[in-house]
C-alpha cells in the first residue's frame, strides 16, 4: 500500500482558493494549522486567519496517514491537498451503462446528497458560489437486478480531477453497482464542510483503488427478545453503508416472540408477536430488503431451529418443553422451547416459513440457526421417547444427536424444495452438531458454512477448519456487542461480561483465529442479542464499535487500534451527523487536540514528537 502526501503545503494551497473577503471571523474563535503532521488548534486572529483551516479539512490531509477515510483503503491512495468549493446545487450524476439499474442509482444519488446536507449545520450561512461537480458512474450494463453474492466483485476505482474552469470531475469505475456504490461512499468522505469559510469543499485531485479483503462483513440483530421498529433497523443499515459493511443478519424469531408475518401461517405472528403493532409485515420486509440493497447490503434471514422456538407455536403439539420450569434444566434462558422432530406435520410448517423467507428475501445464503439444542428438553417428552424407541434407538446423548441429525436432514430438504433445488449454501452456528463425530456424519462441508460463536482461542475452531468448512467468525469474547451489563436472570453481570471496547473489536484478528486456514474464513459478524437492548439503546451499542469491525474486515490493517484512534474519533462524528446515536469515545477536547490524550503518548511515540519521527520515516520510505 502506497501513500502519497504533500501535507506541508495544505495551508498555503487552501489560502489560495479561499474567498475570505466574503466572510467575517467575528463569531469564530478557533481554527487549525497543519504543523509537522499534526492538526494543531489555534486561536484565530487577523494574522493567522488566512492560513487557518477547519478541523475536517485539516485532518483530511495533515499527516502521513490516510486522513479521514474509513475504512482504510487496501490499494493505492493519492490525495492532493488542493480543495475546491463545491456548489451543492450544481452536482450532477451520470450513470453510464446502468440503464437497467436507474431506480437503484437514483436512490443512491438521493442518499449521497442527503449525506452532504447532513454536514451543513445551517444552510442560511452557507457561502454562495462554488464550482460545478459531475459524478460519473461507469459500470457494465447488467442484464439482471443487482444482487450481492459471495462472488460479487466489490472493488472500485475513484478518480477526482479538476479542469481549467474549476469544474470538478469525479469518475467511479467498478464491475457492478455494489463496487460503484462503495466508490460513491468514499467520495462522500472526501467532501467536507469548512466552518471557517462556510463552504462545502472537495478534494480537487485524487486517485483511490480499493477492494475489500473479506467477502462477508456483517452485523447480527436479534429482533425477537425485544422488538425493533423498521425505522431503527433502517438506521442500522445506514450506519453499515457508511462503513461498507455488506451483510445484515436478521435473527427475526426466537422462543420469546415470533414477529414475522408468514402468509400461509398467520397464527404464528398472531400468537407469537408481543402485539399486533410489533409485527414485520410483508411490506415491512420488502422495505428493509430494498433499503439494504440500495446501500450495498444483503439482508439475510435466520430461522433458528430446532431450539429457540416457542411463542407462536401454541396449539400445534409440535414442540417440547415450551416454557418449562425450572427453565435452567431445559434451556439456557427462559422461555424454553424446541421443535419436536418426530412430528411429520411440523416440517410442513417449516416449509411455509422457509417459503416466506425465500420469497421475501431472495437469499443467496440462508441461516438455519442450529445452536443450543438441549437433549434434556427432548428427553422430557414421552412422545419423543416412544418414537425413538420405536426406531430401535436408545435415550443416550448420541441417540438424541441422531434425532438432531434427522431433523437437520428433513429441514434441509424443505429448504431445497422452496429454493427450487438451487442448493443454497446453509449457515449453522457452532453447536454439539458441529463437534466430532457428528459433524462428519450430518454436515457436508460443500453445503454448510459454520458460524463461530465460541471464543477465538477455542480449539474446536481448528477442527472445523481442518475438515474444509468455510467459517464466519463471531467469537463472543470480541464480537458480542451486548456483553457488559447487569444480570437479568440473577444478580451480578450478564454472562459474557465485561463490556467489549472498540479496541478489542479492532484488534480481533481473523488470521490469528484461523491460522493456516485463513483462506477458509469468509469474514465476520458483530452481534447484538437483545435480552437487554431495544431500539432506544441500539445505536450506542453498535456504533462506533461496528465501525472498528468494518475496518478490520475491509482492509485487515497490520497496525493495531492505536493508529486508528484519532481517525475513528472524527469518523464517529460523521456517524452522529448522519443520524446515528453513536457512543462517545472520549471528551471532545481529545478530538480537537490530536494525540494529546493517550496516557503513554510520549513513551509510545504517539504524541507530537513521536508523530514527527513517524512522519519523517514515512517520507524517507516513500
Q: Average pLDDT, stretch 105-123?
A: 94
pLDDT at 64: 63
Using 50, 70 and 90 to split pLDDT, how confident is the model at 421?
Answer: confident
Residue 107's Cβ-count burial label (10 Å; 0-12, 13-18, 19+) is middle
Say if residue 9's pLDDT is above 80: no
Q: What was the pLDDT predicted at 408?
A: 98
Model pLDDT for residues 594-619, shown as the tens digit of each residue: 989 988 766 544 444 444 444 444 44
Banded pLDDT at 458 (limits 50, 70, 90): very high
Here the cell at position 134 is 459531475
Summarize the confidence of residues 380-394 as an average pLDDT.
98
459 C-beta neighbours (distance < 10 Å), count? 8
| 455: confidence class by pLDDT, cuts 50, 70, 90 | very high
149-202 pLDDT, tens digit each: 999 999 999 999 999 999 999 999 999 999 999 999 999 999 999 999 999 999
Q: Nearest 5°: phi and psi at 92?
A: -115, 150
Tell me what pLDDT residue 515 has.
96
User: 173 with 209: CB under 8 angstroms?
Assistant: no
| Radius of gyration in angstroms for the set of CA atoms belonging to the chain, rounded to a whole number | 27
pLDDT at residue 20 greater than cutoff 70: no
Show Cβ contacts of residue 383 under 8 Å, excluding neighbours closer than 6 positions.
Answer: 340, 342
Share of the chain above pLDDT 90, in %: 83
Q: What is the pLDDT of residue 16?
A: 38
Q: Of residues 287, 372, 410, 583, which has the active-site annotation?
A: 372
Q: Which CATH class is domain 60-210?
A: alpha beta
Q: If you average pLDDT over residues 353-372, what whole number do you get?
A: 97
Q: What is the DSSP letter of 141?
A: -
Q: Among 9-18, 28-37, 337-346, which is the least confidently predicted range?
A: 9-18
Average of per-residue pLDDT across 464-490:
97
Q: What is the mean pLDDT of the chain?
A: 91
**CB environment 493-513: b (16+ within 10 A), e (fewer):** ebeeeeebebbebbbbbbeeb
Mean pLDDT of 250-262: 98
Tell me how far apart the alpha carbons of residues 253 and 272 are, in angstroms, rounded to a whole number: 9
**N-to-C CA span, the chain:** 11
Read out DSSP for 290-308?
A: HHHHHTT-EEEEE---SBS
CATH topology of domain 216-592: TIM Barrel (3.20.20)
| CA neighbours closer than 13 Å in the CB half-sphere of residue 349 | 22
Give me the pLDDT at residue 102, please: 81
Nearest to 54 by CA among 21, 29, 79: 29
Is the pLDDT at 2 greater than 60, yes or no?
no
At residue 510's C-alpha, the angle toward residues 509 and 512, to 5°, is 70
pLDDT above 80 for 14: no
Is residue 48 very low, low, confident or very high in pLDDT (cuts 50, 70, 90)? confident
Give me the pLDDT at residue 49, please.
85
Taking CA 58 as the corner, what is the angle to CA 52 and CA 60, rounded to the nearest 5 degrees?
155
Boundaries of every domain in the chain? 60-210, 216-592
**127 backbone φψ class: left, alpha, beta (φ>0; ψ -120 to 50):** beta
Q: Among this protein's residues, is 372 annotated catalytic?
A: yes
Section 556-582 average pLDDT: 96
Amino acid at each position: 500500500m502506497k501513500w502519497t502526501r504533500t501535507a506541508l503545503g495544505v495551508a498555503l494551497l487552501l489560502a489560495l482558493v479561499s474567498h475570505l473577503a466574503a466572510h467575517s471571523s467575528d463569531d469564530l474563535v478557533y481554527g487549525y494549522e497543519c504543523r509537522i503532521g499534526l492538526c494543531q488548534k489555534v486561536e484565530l486572529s487577523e494574522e493567522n486567519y488566512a492560513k487557518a483551516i477547519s478541523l475536517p479539512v485539516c485532518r483530511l490531509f495533515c499527516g502521513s496517514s490516510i486522513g479521514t477515510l474509513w475504512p482504510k483503503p487496501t490499494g493505492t491512495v493519492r490525495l492532493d491537498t488542493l480543495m475546491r468549493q463545491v456548489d451543492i446545487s450544481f452536482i450532477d450524476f451520470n450513470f453510464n451503462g446502468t440503464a437497467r439499474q436507474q431506480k437503484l442509482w437514483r436512490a443512491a444519488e438521493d442518499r449521497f446528497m442527503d449525506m452532504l446536507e447532513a454536514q451543513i449545520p445551517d444552510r442560511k450561512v452557507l457561502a454562495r458560489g462554488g464550482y460545478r461537480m459531475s459524478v460519473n458512474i461507469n459500470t457494465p450494463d447488467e442484464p439482471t437486478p443487482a444482487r450481492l453474492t459471495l462472488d460479487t466483485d466489490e472493488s472500485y476505482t475513484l478518480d477526482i480531477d479538476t479542469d481549467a474552469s474549476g469544474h470538478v470531475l469525479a469518475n467511479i469505475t467498478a464491475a457492478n453497482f455494489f463496487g460503484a456504490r462503495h466508490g460513491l461512499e468514499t467520495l462522500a468522505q472526501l467532501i467536507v464542510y469548512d466552518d471557517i469559510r462556510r463552504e462545502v469543499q472537495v478534494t480537487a485531485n485524487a486517485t483511490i483503488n480499493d477492494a475489500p479483503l473479506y467477502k462477508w462483513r456483517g452485523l447480527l440483530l436479534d429482533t425477537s427478545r425485544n422488538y425493533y421498529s423498521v425505522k431503527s433497523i433502517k438506521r442500522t443499515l445506514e450506519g453499515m453503508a457508511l462503513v461498507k459493511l455488506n451483510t445484515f443478519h436478521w435473527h427475526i424469531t426466537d422462543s420469546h416472540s415470533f414477529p414475522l408475518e408468514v402468509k400461509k401461517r398467520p397464527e404464528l405472528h398472531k400468537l407469537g408477536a408481543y402485539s399486533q403493532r410489533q409485527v414485520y409485515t410483508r411490506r415491512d420486509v420488502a422495505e428493509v430488503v430494498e433499503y439494504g440493497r440500495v446501500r450495498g447490503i444483503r439482508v439475510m434471514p435466520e430461522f433458528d431451529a430446532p431450539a429457540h422456538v416457542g411463542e407462536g407455536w401454541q396449539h400445534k403439539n409440535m414442540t417440547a418443553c415450551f416454557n418449562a420450569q425450572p427453565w435452567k434444566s431445559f434451556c439456557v434462558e427462559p422461555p424454553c422451547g424446541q421443535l419436536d422432530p418426530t412430528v411429520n406435520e411440523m416440517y410442513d410448517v417449516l416449509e411455509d416459513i422457509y417459503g416466506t423467507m425465500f420469497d421475501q428475501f431472495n437469499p443467496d445464503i440462508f441461516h438455519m440457526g442450529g445452536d443450543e439444542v438441549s437433549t434434556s428438553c427432548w428427553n422430557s417428552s414421552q412422545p419423543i421417547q416412544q418414537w425413538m424407541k420405536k426406531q430401535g434407538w436408545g435415550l443416550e446423548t448420541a441417540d438424541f444427536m441422531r434425532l438432531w441429525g434427522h431433523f437437520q436432514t428433513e429441514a434441509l430438504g424443505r429448504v431445497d424444495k422452496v429454493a427450487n433445488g438451487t442448493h443454497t449454501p446453509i449457515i449453522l452456528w457452532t453447536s454439539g452438531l458441529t463437534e466430532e463425530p457428528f459433524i462428519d456424519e450430518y454436515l457436508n462441508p460443500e453445503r454448510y458454512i459454520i458460524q463461530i460463536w465460541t471464543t477465538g482461542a477455542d480449539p474446536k475452531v481448528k477442527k472445523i477448519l481442518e475438515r474444509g468448512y468455510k467459517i464466519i467468525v463471531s467469537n463472543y469474547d470480541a464480537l458480542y456487542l451486548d456483553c457488559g451489563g447487569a444480570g437479568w436472570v440473577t444478580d451480578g453481570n450478564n454472562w459474557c461480561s465485561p463490556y467489549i471496547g472498540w479496541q478489542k473489536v479492532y484488534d480481533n484478528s481473523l488470521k490469528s483465529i484461523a491460522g493456516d486456514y485463513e483462506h477458509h474464513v469468509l469474514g465476520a459478524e458483530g452481534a447484538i442479542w437483545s435480552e437487554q437492548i431495544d431500539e432506544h439503546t441500539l445505536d450506542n451499542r453498535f456504533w462506533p464499535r461496528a465501525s472498528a469491525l468494518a475496518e478490520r474486515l475491509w482492509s485487515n490493517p497490520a497496525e493495531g487500534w492505536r493508529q486508528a484512534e484519532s481517525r475513528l474519533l472524527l469518523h464517529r462524528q460523521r456517524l452522529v451527523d448522519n443520524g446515528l446515536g453513536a457512543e462517545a469515545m472520549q471528551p471532545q477536547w481529545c478530538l480537537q487536540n490530536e494525540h494529546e490524550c493517550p496516557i503513554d503518548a510520549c513513551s509510545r511515540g504517539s504524541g507530537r514528537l513521536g508523530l514527527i519521527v513517524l512522519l519523517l520515516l514515512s517520507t524517507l520510505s516513500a
